[in-house]
Structure 1
């Protein structure tokens, strides 16, 4: 389901997950070659993940850090929403207790977009120098 949605994505991919691993970062890096990717994660990733995210920062792949982030969702082209209980790590994606649901509902996607951009802009303000 996740890979089919990624394949169909043409314009933007908005990802929020508390934790992420190298494999998923590689997929997002690949996606950044065909669409804009924005990633929200917690700042308490391991050093290797933080280095990989910093190395991938580009015009089409942006990362923002959000302390206490718990949102776990992916918005594909502002239309399709994948949401669930799993972080984007190999363990979580394979764990039978973790669930995802795919939603193609304009109102639900709109709420998810609003939540994503609220976090995105908040992360921007947190990193801005004091006036």
Structure 2
């Protein structure tokens, strides 16, 4: 898709990028094949499914994103992060894992419009 871009105005209409605001984010590392870890992650995230490799399960503000063979990112409302970490600690007691609040480490953006696919293709490995 080719769009003429005016240097002064940019490419208005090509796509819109907007920050979605503060979101609770918890990194969870451990054995992702363990049912105990999967169940705990789904319970804390409030989703009904566990993501496949390279996948994500998102329902509104909540979700689980696969990050690496031993790491997930759990999304939840920012106000619930402390309680979610406590729930994970209780559910995974005795299980080798790491759960940490990384809410301030990242931002979430929405990319929308007719050029959204092209913008994402330039910025992500997807």
Query: Does TM-score exceed 0.5, indicating one fold?
Result: no
Determine which structure has the larger strand proportion and give its number.
2
| TM-score, normalised relative to structure 1 | 0.29
Determine which structure has the larger helix proportion and give its number.
1
Which has the higher relative contact order, 1 or 2, with Cα contacts under 8 A spaced 6 or more apart? 2
